[in-house]
Structure formats: C-alpha cells, structure tokens
Amino acid sequence: MEIFEVISVGIIASVLFLLLKDKQPSIAFLIIVLTVLYFFIFVIQYVQEILHLITYLGDQANINEVYIKTILQIIGISYITEIGANIVKDAGLESVAVKIEMIGKVFILILAIPIFKSLIETIINIFPIT
C-alpha cells in the first residue's frame, strides 16, 4: 500500500533531519523541504482524480462552472498556503509564516467576492426589498 511508502519516507527524512540538524542545519532543512515536495508530487495524482470527480458532479448537478473552479482554487490556495507557511515555520521564521497565511487569506477573500455577490443577489431576488 502506498501509505507505507509515504510513512517510510517521512520516518527516514525525520531520522536524517535529527542526525544532521546540529552539525549541518542547512542540509537538514533541505531534507525536510525535499520531503515535503516529494509528498506534494505524490499526492497530486490523487488530487487530480478528486478534481475531475468534483467537476463531473458539478456538471451533473448543473452548477455553474465558475463556482466550481472558484471553490477549487480556494481549496488549492489554502493547502498551498499551509504547506508554505509550515515550511517557513520549520525554518524558524514564524513571522514570515504568519504573513504567508495572511496573504493566503486575502487571496481567498478576493476569490470569494463573486460568489458572495451572487449569493446576496439571489437572496435579494428571493426576498425583494420594498
């Protein structure tokens, strides 16, 4: 099973990190970054399958494609932001990680504005203001 591969790589990377962090901290950090990149590349194939399924279900439910794409972009931004912030936190730069998280939230807010606008317009059409 592939989960054992992921766990094995994570354990090996952790042991190497612990062995190298005091004598070669830059190499130890590089091991962590490469491990995270490996995990990201590994999981992309599964994410693509999920994206195709969500798109298919959205088409079947007759949901506007713009909404599906926007929601998927929001989910993508949140995961990428979290991964990036965690890598920076691992490097000991908590203040930079906080800024990355804040910028991710701003991008999510920007993407959500059209959906929010559409929701408000729908509510106004259902309950007209007199």
pLDDT of residue 127: 82
C-alpha 99/C-alpha 89 separation (Å) is 11
Q: How crowded is the C-beta side of 80, counted as CA atoms within 13 Å?
A: 14
Asked if 83 and 31 sit in the same domain, the reply is no
Q: How many CB atoms are located within 10 Å of the residue 97 CB?
A: 20
Asked if 47 and 84 sit in the same domain, the reply is no
Contacts of 39-43 spanning 24+ positions with Cβ under 8 A: 39/6, 39/9, 39/10, 40/83, 42/2, 42/5, 42/6
Q: How many domains does the chain have?
A: 2
- Token digits of residue 81: 């932001």
CA-based radius of gyration for the chain: 20
Asked if 58 and 70 sit in the same domain, the reply is no
pLDDT of residue 58: 86
pLDDT of residue 130: 63
Asked if 77 and 123 sit in the same domain, the reply is yes
Asked if 55 and 93 sit in the same domain, the reply is no
Structural domain harbouring 130: 64-130
This prediction's pTM: 0.72
Asked if 57 and 87 sit in the same domain, the reply is no
Q: How many CB atoms are located within 10 Å of the residue 12 CB?
A: 12
Max CA distance (Å), the chain: 72
Give 10-residue mean pLDDT values along the chain (130 residues).
Answer: 89 92 91 90 87 88 87 91 90 92 95 89 81
pLDDT of residue 74: 92
Asked if 58 and 74 sit in the same domain, the reply is no
Asked if 45 and 95 sit in the same domain, the reply is no
Residue 63 φ then ψ, to 5°? -90, 140
